[in-house]
């Protein structure tokens, strides 16, 4: 019995010693983990910034990039909208430089507190500045093409003229369905009973509409052409935009052969031409820079429908007349009109033709 008690006591002592050793080992490992965590916080690279600051700066940099690109886009849009002089471009360029400097100042980093490596961020900043410099050099090297600038301003004035004519026609007769073409160079009229199927003679209501339109054209063309009735001036035509031709275009529906419709459309254009010049004879006196009458006729057959020709109503709409305004487009810079007083010189150049 005593032997059994001694054996049990020995086992308890051994178990107690084992538990104590385990506790010490766990405590020792816990202390080591604490020390490792402490040292890890002390050995971060010096060349670093906090994550929060990094994110903020990166966001500012992205915003700056977008603003710079927006500024460049605005400059290109403005160049396309109107012709700039070199002086105005230089002023815009200086403003752009100042704006870029202002944006760059917002992303300066002057508090390199340790946490996150910042080498990549500085690389992005440097690369963006190099890209800004490249864009500015490209902008400085670009010159506005004088011919493109003149053509753009000429088209802009034509658009305003067509808008005025359209509004005047609709104010005079709301039954006339007239719209400006997608390219902004023509007035497109729905047939609205202007021509019967196979006929080149306008209906009586259609004839009266064409006479009214001729009177409006007689007033609007004076500031965009030459002739006895011209009223060309810098006040009404600051870009010196000139009409080279005004085509009265005849169209047909899809009934009949191509040859028949081409002939029919030409006769329709000629018929309306006759009605217009009879109602407003002064239309014959408007000339272009080459001293040619601007009024002309063209026929397009059934090739340019505005409806699907699937019904009587849509076919009637396609039996119509369009008025297309073709503007003078200089082939060389020497032919670009600069001011009204310069036009006689340009006329002499154009009439003389290219040098041999």
pLDDT of residue 111: 43
Collapsing DSSP states into helix, strand and coil, what is residue 201?
coil
pTM for the whole structure: 0.60
Instruction: Give the pLDDT confidence of 176-219 residue by residue, as tens digits.
Output: 999 999 889 999 999 889 999 999 999 999 999 999 999 999 99
Report the candidate in 115, 198, 169, 143 with the shortest Cα–Cα distance to residue 323: 169
pLDDT of residue 345: 86
Q: Give the orientation angle of helix 258-279 with respect to helix 204-220, to 10 degrees.
A: 60
Instruction: Give the pLDDT confidence of 310-338 residue by residue, as tens digits.
Output: 999 999 999 999 999 999 999 888 888 88
Higher confidence at residue 8 or residue 223? 223
Instruction: Give the pLDDT confidence of 123-155 residue by residue, as tens digits.
Output: 555 666 666 666 665 555 555 688 888 999 999
Instruction: Give the pLDDT confidence of 285-313 residue by residue, as tens digits.
Output: 999 989 899 999 999 999 999 999 999 99
pLDDT of residue 102: 59
pLDDT of residue 24: 59
Instruction: Give the pLDDT confidence of 22-63 residue by residue, as tens digits.
Output: 555 656 565 666 666 655 555 544 445 556 665 666 666 666
Report the candidate in 161, 176, 182 with the shortest Cα–Cα distance to residue 320: 176
Q: Is the dihedral of CA 298, 299, 304, 310 positive or negative?
A: positive
């Amino acid at each position: 019995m005593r032997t059994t008690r001694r054996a049990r006591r020995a086992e308890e002592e051994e178990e107690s010693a084992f538990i104590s050793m385990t506790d010490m080992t766990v405590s020792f490992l816990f202390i080591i983990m604490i020390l490792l965590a402490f040292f890890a916080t002390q050995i971060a690279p010096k060349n670093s910034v906090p994550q929060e600051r990094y994110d903020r700066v990166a966001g500012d940099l992205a915003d700056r990039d977008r603003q710079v690109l927006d500024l460049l886009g605005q400059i290109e849009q403005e160049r396309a909208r109107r012709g700039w002089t070199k002086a105005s471009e230089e002023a815009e360029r200086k403003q752009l430089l100042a704006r870029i400097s202002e944006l760059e100042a917002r992303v300066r980093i002057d508090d390199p507190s340790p946490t996150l490596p910042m080498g990549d961020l500085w690389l992005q900043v440097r690369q963006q500045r190099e890209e800004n410099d490249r864009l500015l050099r490209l902008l400085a090297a670009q010159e506005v093409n004088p011919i493109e600038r003149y053509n753009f301003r000429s088209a802009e004035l034509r658009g305003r003229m067509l808008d005025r004519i359209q509004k005047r026609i609709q104010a005079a007769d709301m039954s006339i369905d007239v719209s400006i073409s997608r390219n902004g160079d023509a007035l497109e009229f729905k047939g609205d009973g202007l021509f019967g199927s196979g006929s080149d003679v306008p209906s009586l209501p259609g004839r009266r509409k064409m006479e009214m339109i001729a009177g409006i054209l007689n007033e609007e063309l004076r500031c965009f052409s030459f002739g006895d009735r011209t009223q060309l001036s810098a006040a009404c035509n600051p870009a010196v935009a000139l009409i080279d031709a005004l085509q009265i275009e005849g169209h047909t529906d899809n009934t009949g052969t191509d040859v028949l419709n081409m002939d029919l459309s030409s006769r329709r254009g000629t018929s309306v031409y006759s009605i217009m010049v009879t109602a407003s004879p002064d239309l014959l006196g408007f000339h272009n820079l080459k001293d040619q009458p601007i009024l002309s006729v063209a026929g397009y057959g059934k090739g340019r429908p505005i409806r699907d020709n699937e019904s009587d109503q849509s076919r009637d709409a396609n039996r119509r007349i369009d008025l297309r305004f073709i503007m003078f487009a200089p082939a060389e810079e020497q032919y670009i009109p600069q001011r009204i007083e310069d036009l006689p010189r340009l006329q002499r150049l154009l009439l003389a033709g290219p040098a041999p």
